[in-house]
Chains A and B, each alone.
Chain A
Amino acid sequence: GQNIDQPTEMTATEGAIVQINCTYQTSGFNGLFWYQQHAGEAPTFLSYNVLDGLEEKGRFSSFLSRSKGYSYLLLKELQMKDSASYLCAVMDSNYQLIWGAGTKLIIKP
């Protein structure tokens, strides 16, 4: 079966760094996506990795290791507005997204 695992909830302090991990087992691989979802809102695209390595975009970076079926999202200089759920999704061999349940990130002052 296809499976995406990520922690249910994490807590971090404003100004700090947090890493959200995602492991996956899917039928094929056509890229891994990270989305941000604030409570009561729609998911919005953050990052995309299809090759191994680190993709950096401002305060957010995403890493992929295809051989290990592993990715992480790194958030630096945390701000209160970063409090949200972070969704990991893998595009399978049929170009459909398989979604993790999401990690709720709580930022404390």
Chain B
Amino acid sequence: IAGITQAPTSQILAAGRRMTLRCTQDMRHNAMYWYRQDLGLGLRLIHYSNTAGTTGKGEVPDGYSVSRANTDDFPLTLASAVPSQTSVYFCASSDFPKGGGGSGEQFFGPGTRLTVL
């Protein structure tokens, strides 16, 4: 693989169910991110990880959890899905911190379209 992969591509989920969105990168980036994108609101950060073994809360973390057991994988879990979590979810990665040159640009996976009914 090259870049970032996400699975599943799309999912319809009943409210109250547990769901894990998977994200894997092969660029050896130390930082990874989960965003949700809703029409008219832009990308909003859910959780992030600056390095393996650490995670942090973003702008909209409630109802979501993450783990970062290794450099490559950064799964996002919805413990009990609600309809307001219907969205497109993007995983991204970057070099962090961005010292030593480079912009720290983020590279995005193809996204997961999640519908909670």
Contact = CB atoms under 8 A, between A and B. Distances in A.
Given A33-B103, A42-B90, A48-B103, A100 B108 contact: no
B58 A95 contact: no
Interface of B: 40-45, 48, 58, 90, 96-98, 103-111
B114 to A, nearest CB: 14
Interface of A: 4, 8, 30-31, 33, 41-45, 48, 50, 87, 89, 91, 95-97, 99-102
Closest 9 CB pairs of A and B: A42-B108, A48-B103, A101-B42, A99-B43, A99-B42, A45-B105, A43-B108, A42-B110, A42-B111
Contact of B42 (A87, A95, A96): A87
A91 B58 CA distance: 14
Contacts of B111: 41-42
B112 to A, nearest CB: 11
A89 B104 CA distance: 12
A100 B42 contact: yes
